[in-house]
Structure 1
């Protein structure tokens, strides 16, 4: 049984997500509303967290201004039961939608185009007709197009690690929407996203080209290149042994934007991860994270940047910063 109102003391909520739930439970409680106003006034960070979380909550289902603030508009004051029902209905709707999305996995067109597709947190090892090996990361998809002239694979989504079999004279090519990696007897990692393709070499040599652009980037052990859809490129070096570390359950990053690190962790979390704040997204990050604990890894990423983490539901995490 719930009490008619929460305690007006140290038992008051301490985080924006907790305030939202408490107010949905007790929308008429003036003591609770007064406590929220004191909490908002206590620090700019509290107010920022509240604004971000309330915007997200209202986006799931219009439930009025729970804080009771005057924002220049007139809203009908809903009975407590209706407010609570809308809040729960919005949350339930989100849970059902996310559940259906991840039950079906990648969209049907991707499945029709791909030869192999992996689910959340699934790593799959493949042996190709020529003896080459492919390790497909979670939420990834690849199509194999071998012919008499070349061994071509299309990485349609996600990430894969390739160990190319020697002795076959046909070129071994991995293509994404933004680049092509041509193997010269090697082991290498390729990742693709909407905005860029990344290639890193563990051993041997790989030539990376961008369709329509002259020249090729030659990568050797420990080299990596990032080719953005805009045409911008970046290059660097890492320890060769760290290339493909995700296959051993570790994500190792060096001076990478927070947005890129969160993108790499998303396939291991069975739900949605929302990153709020352009400045936070651009911040450089170096670290090693355990992929078997994606929630812990996301909390570590946020902690390193002084950002906040809100576990809105088992299927939704919001990381918020400046």
Structure 2
């Protein structure tokens, strides 16, 4: 999705996000409410940006999956406190939810498009996008979209690591929010990674090469253990043991890489190819609840972390999103991991609801 290019609209969208956070944090502050009203009256673009941002927040709040008792308890607790505070439409908008309608809207968007890669857009980039963009964001909150789920043979939920044993006794371990299809017949062993990340431990069979498709790549093996992931801008393959061949003849120049244990390759959608050496203990480290980042953009690292957080994470600043991160983080505590990344970048993490975290410069 294209971002906002008009500088007035872009600034208004950024300011609207900040107002949402402030009003959420200080709902009883009359001076803050007065200044907010003045800001809305200064320029029609301000009110437009506020309305779009509020609609987005509404829909993101509604996207909490059904069956989560703590979500309803949170809303009930907030509603019980309304008598003790001054009227505040911004906060009320986050409370007056219609879950069924929100999910229906997200499914309409999801059925029309493939699951959008999470992390493509900052909050500023969606400030004036309207209900359709908000609904697509909700699909990102919920996990693999309905179209992907209908196509997949196996999917994993947020925070869930799932291991599947295939017909040939090979195993596939799915990272959270991942999906695969399996195509086995008398001559073919092929698994397509539709979304997310997976680790493959393949049973050797020289007569039937095992192939994995991941976006723009095909990985061919005879017997090995390797990790494949799809990201926003690239797909990656890392080998724990054995030998694989990574290729995409459609690229110009064509990709053709052979990888041994401790080697990995990152192939960008722009055709870039980056090989590197990695300790085998770090291949598929997510299986041990570890996220290992080595000079990676914050946006890319947060993209991985999102699959472990039962909500959504928004980065408000493009410069912050591009800053590099190095470290080892615990995936079983994604909020602490996010705060650790933010501290290293001199940024802060704000909680709008327990399921919406906003990362912004301090």
Same fold (TM over 0.5): yes
User: In structure 1, how many angstroms separate the alpha carbons of the residues matched to 2:284 and 2:195?
Assistant: 16
TM-score, normalised via structure 1 length: 0.74
Secondary structure (helix, strand or coil) at the match of 1:216 reads strand
Show CA shifts across 1:91-135 (max 9, x none): 125794899557964322111110001111011011000110110
* Residue of structure 2 in register with 1:298 after alignment: 338
Counterpart contact for 2:234–2:267, Cα < 8 Å = yes
1:29–1:321 Cα change, 3 Å = closer
**Shift in alpha-carbon separation, 1:225–1:57, aligned structure 2, 3 A:** farther
Contact 1:159–1:189 (CA under 8 A) maintained in structure 2: yes
Any unmatched runs of 5+ in structure 2?
1-17, 36-48, 57-83, 104-137
- Maintained 8 Å contact 2:20/2:54: no
Q: Please say if residues 24 and 352 of structure 2, whose CA atoms lie closer than 8 Å, have aligned partners that are also in contact.
A: no
Correspondence for 1:139 = 177
What displacement does 1:143 show?
A: 0.3
1:110 maps to 2:148: yes
- SS, match of residue 319 in structure 1: strand
Contact 1:98–1:315, Cα closer than 8 Å, also in 2: no
1:123 to 1:257, Cα distance in 2 relative to 1, 3 A: same
RCO (CA 8 Å, sep 6+): is it higher in 1 or 2? 2
Give TM-score scaled by structure 2 length: 0.66
Structure 2 counterpart of 1:283, from 318, 323, 345: 323
Assess, with a 3 A threshold, how the Cα gap between structure 1 residues 57 and 94 changes in structure 2: closer, same or farther: farther
Cα drift, residue 21 of structure 1 = 3.1
In the alignment, the residues of structure 1 paired with residue 185 and residue 256 of structure 2 have an alpha-carbon distance, to the nearest angstrom, of: 23
Aligned counterpart for 1:60 among listed residues 54, 58, 61: 54
1:8 aligns with none
State which of 123, 142, 149 in structure 1 corresponds to 2:187.
149
- 1:27 maps to which residue? 30
- The residue matched to 1:296 in structure 2 has which SS? helix
| 1:144-223 mapped onto 2 (5 Å cutoff) | 144-213=182-251, 214-223=254-263
Deviation at 1:61, TM superposition (A): 5.1
Distance (whole Å) between structure 1 residues aligned to residue 167 and residue 296 of structure 2: 36
Could you say if the C-alpha distance between residues 232 and 56 of structure 1 is closer, same or farther in structure 2, counting changes exceeding 3 Å? farther
TM-aligned CA deviation for residue 277 of structure 1 = 2.0
SS at match of 1:84: coil
- Please tell me whether residue 320 in structure 1 is matched to residue 360 in structure 2: yes
Partner of 1:89: 92
Runs of 4+ in 1 over 6 A off after TM superposition: 15-18, 55-58
Determine if contact 2:144/2:195 at 8 Å carries over to the other structure. Answer: no
CA contact 1:98–1:271 (8 Å) conserved in 2: no
Aligned to 2:287: 247
Q: CA RMSD in A?
A: 3.1
Q: Does 1:274 align with 2:306?
A: no
1:320 CA displacement:
1.4
Q: How many residues align?
A: 268
SS of residue in 2 equivalent to 1:279? helix
Contact 2:20 2:90 survives alignment (8 Å): no
Where do 5+ consecutive residues of structure 1 fail to align?
1-14, 34-54, 63-80
Which region of structure 1 is more displaced relative to structure 2, 264-273 or 274-283? 274-283
1:147, distance to aligned residue in structure 2 (A): 2.5
Preserved CA contact (<8 Å) 1:60 1:94: no
- Tell me, yes or no, if the aligned pair for 1:61 and 1:87 is still in contact at 8 Å: no
Q: Does the CA contact (< 8 Å) of 2:23 and 2:91 recur in 1?
A: no
1:228 and 1:190 mapped to 2: Cα distance? Answer: 14
